[in-house]
Amino acid sequence: MTSKRILVIAGSDSSGGAGLEADQKVIAAHGCYAMTATTALTAQNTQGVYDIHQTPSSFVRKQIDACIEDIGVDVVKTGMLASASTIEVVAEALKRHNVPVCIVDPVMVSTSGAQLLPETAVEILIAQLLPVTTLLTPNLPEAQLILKSTGKSVGEPQSVDDIVAMAKAVRELGPKYVLLKGGHVPLTKDRVVPTGEADRQIVLNVLVGGAEDVIFETAYLKSKNTHGTGCSLASAIASRLASGMTIEQAVKTANYYIEAGIRTSQDLGKGSGPINHFH
């Protein structure tokens, strides 16, 4: 039996915690086969991103074509796309190759504050990539930037209903499903915490696009080792979809995988360390 084939189009993280390196570990941990189209190299570690070297978008196209024309693909997962011209190349290639499932993690700014996509590229992301996206996985700041760029006024969510409404507004821009990751929203059992961090208890992830909206609740884990959790979650979902799960099952169980990865992380480096991908 051959493994399911996943093409990751994303940036490299030299320290192995996020980006393509994390994606490949996650995909391998799920027993799938990972291919890569590298959009950028980063010089980074657990403390920050020190430099970025972009791949010419014409070369990204060649990497995508080389993989798909020979090996084929079951699921594409995108991460850091680095530039508007690479987003255009990716959107065109997804259509030309009739890629059946595409998970888009709209990576914009790293947790350490590095700009991984220029804000000016968000309009191209919306116009070209979102219409060919199966599942978009923004965190709250990314969803806010996407909506702001369409001219919508977006404030901070005050309730769970506000988070669901925001996910639906993003979905109107084209993706079949949107998973809005609420990791940045300070929440207790059923309300936003006005005092912020100190009282946090839970994380809500909201999935819209199916017959019913689904709210996934997980315990808030206080850990410094969360570097690459966004990349890893999207790759875990991609692997689970490739292996035949429904979107709802894939999202639910991928969250458990990430939670266990944070719980068993190893305190590597001096800053925000990686999660454990093999557990």
Binding of ligand PLP at residue 139 (CB under 6 A)? no
Paired sense of beta strands 214-219 and 135-136, if any: unpaired
Token representation of residue 171: 């979905």
- Give the integer Cα–Cα distance in Å for 9 and 133: 13
**Binding residues for ligand PLP, how many (CB under 6 A)?**
19
Select from 16, 230, 261, 273 the one that contacts ligand PLP (CB under 6 A).
230
Q: Per CB under 6 A, which of residues 23..82 are in contact with ligand PLP? A: 42, 44, 79-80
Q: Are 84 and 120 in contact (CB under 8 A)?
A: yes
Select from 16, 106, 182, 228 the one that contacts ligand PLP (CB under 6 A).
228
- Give the integer Cα–Cα distance in Å for 210 and 223: 32
Q: Which residue sits closest to ligand PLP, CB atoms considered?
A: 19
Closest to 79 in 3D by CA, of 31, 162, 138? 138
Q: Interface mask (CB under 6 A) for ligand PLP, residues 10-29, using x and -?
A: xx-x----xx----------
Integer Rg of the chain from CA = 17
Binding of ligand PLP at residue 235 (CB under 6 A)? no
Helix (H) or strand (E) holding 147: helix 140-149
Please list, in sequence order, all residues whose beta carbon lies within 8 angstroms of the beta carbon of residue 116, skipping any fewer than 6 positions away: 11, 40, 49, 52, 80, 82, 107, 108, 109, 110
Of 104-112, 127-135, 145-153, 177-185, the window that binds ligand PLP (rule: CB under 6 A) is 104-112
User: Is residue 226 annotated as part of the catalytic site, yes or no?
Assistant: yes
Q: Residue 109 has what DSSP assignment? A: B
Binding of ligand PLP at residue 255 (CB under 6 A)? no
- The one catalytic residue among 19, 46, 231, 252: 231
User: Is residue 78 annotated as part of the catalytic site, yes or no?
Assistant: no
- The one catalytic residue among 4, 25, 77, 181: 181
The least distance separating ligand PLP from the CB of residue 122, rounded to whole angstroms, comes to: 15
State the residues that interact with ligand PLP by CB under 6 A. 10-11, 13, 18-19, 42, 44, 79-80, 107, 110-112, 116, 227-231
- Annotated active-site positions, please? 181, 226, 228-231
